[in-house]
Amino acid sequence: MALASSEDSAGRLLVVDDEAVPRLIVARAAATLGIASDGAASLAEAVARVQAVAYDVVVLDLGLRDHDGIELLRSLRQAGSDAVLVFVSGFDERVRQAAARLAAALGLRVAGTLGKPLLVERLVALLRALPERTRARNAEDGAEIDPALLEAGIEGDEIVCLFQPKVTLRERRLVGVEVLTRWRSPVLGLVRPDLFIPLAERAGLIDRLTQHVMTQALALFRPWHAERPELTLAINLSPVSLTDLSLPERICNALAESGVPAAALVLEVTEGAVMGDHVAAADILTRLRIRGIKLSIDDFGTGHSSLLSLLHLPFSELKIDQRFVATCLHDPEAPKIIRAIVSLARELGLQLVAEGIETEPVAELLTRLGCPVGQGYLFAPPLSHAVLAGRLRAAAWAEGVA
């Protein structure tokens, strides 16, 4: 059912419902706002559609005949979808809220939930907010930025490395730094990584960017490491790079040229990334680990890795996602999740780092829950090389004071 053409429409919507009437109501409501829509009557049909089309919004009935609609969330996540979700169901509000929380935990955005029978006005109100969301998302994605500008920026040394300290939560001793990049563009000003990294991935520039970041960061890190051999350097790896089988060789060459030992390097990959092309990712990660490089699972708790896949991949560190950290004082579920992650890390012999620690009470709670290392604005924001070098000289962290 396509009620508006997707060319110059205000977005594209998928409605998943096994009943024809609600599908029609949603499609009509969308059409009044100029939103093109497709319908799917089953989970299989919906999965096929989200794999083929980048939807802006998915209206999902949680009570499909043979399945719960929740399974589609995983497919959306796997397809890298950025769709905004609207849940519809005849169940009570608590069920819809639980589904919304699950979606958020999977990194999906939820616009709202609707009961059945559908209230058309409420649906239209939700959909009306969509063009703004779509526009905002495109700007966020850096869709407006010309890839040639980024390419010139990479070649012209405009990508700079900042370093955010990782400290022990009890003594506040510096144990390592994570490289967080910024693009200092003479045209655009300072560009955040969540804008230009996805652009680099889409434009096929990510490998050159990673190479550049790695060379720069290793060279800056080398003198610190010479003085404090216990320090580690963490670099973020794009999931896109985990399909490139020449990656381990290139990283080892960069290490050899820098003189930094493999054991001082930590590569952070997001949990979801590893689940994509499983075989290639496992191949690359295993080869990196064999060379002595440490591997960290970033944003842990937001993906949907099974314990088995965790056990099968040679990770050495696990980073609790900011979302659990930020909410741990207010959401009664968050400390339980953190406690479970702490014991999982212990059982598997993984280092554990909590990221996004902004306040002292959060640091205290995490310490009590058994998390040894943390990162966040409480200790330091991402710092320039010069500022961090100054602090290291002043031995601020050597004394155990951040």
Q: And the tokens for 179? A: 């490289």
Is residue 6 within 8 A of residue 34, CB to CB? The reply is no
Select from 11, 303, 356, 374 the one that contacts ligand C2E (CB under 6 A): 356
- Segment interacting with ligand C2E, rule: CB under 6 A, options 73-81, 117-125, 233-241, 250-258: 233-241
Rule CB under 6 A: is residue 317 a binding residue for ligand C2E? no
Concerning whether 144 is annotated as a catalytic residue, the answer is no
Rule CB under 6 A: is residue 382 a binding residue for ligand C2E? yes
Q: How far apart are CA 127 and CA 125, in angstroms?
A: 6
The backbone torsions φ and ψ at residue 190, rounded to the nearest 5 degrees and listed phi first, read -80, 120
- Segment interacting with ligand C2E, rule: CB under 6 A, options 23-31, 149-157, 277-285, 355-363: 355-363
Calculated CA dihedral for residues 86, 23, 83, 34, nearest 10 degrees:
-110
Rule CB under 6 A: is residue 377 a binding residue for ligand C2E? yes
Q: And the tokens for 140? A: 């966020």
Q: How far apart are CA 69 and CA 60, in angstroms?
A: 7
DSSP state of 383: B
Give the contact letters, 235-264, x = binds to ligand C2E (CB under 6 A), - = no: -xxx--------------------------
Options 178, 355, 364, 399, the catalytic residue: 355
Q: How far apart are CA 233 and CA 251, in angstroms?
A: 13
H or E stretch at 211: helix 206-227
How many residues bind to ligand C2E according to rule CB under 6 A?
23
Residue listed under structure tokens 């096994």: 18
- Which spans of this chain sit near Ca ion (rule: CB under 5 A)? 236, 268, 298-299
Question: Which residue number, 89 or 302, has a Cβ lying nearer to Ca ion?
Answer: 302
363 binds, among ligand C2E, Ca ion, none (CB under 5 to 8 A by kind): none
Rounded to a whole number of angstroms, the minimum distance from the CB of residue 185 to ligand C2E is 15
Q: How far apart are CA 36 and CA 56, in angstroms?
A: 10
| Catalytic residue IDs | 355
Where along the sequence are the contacts to ligand C2E (CB under 6 A)?
164, 179-181, 192-194, 197, 213, 236-238, 268, 298-299, 322, 355-358, 376-377, 382
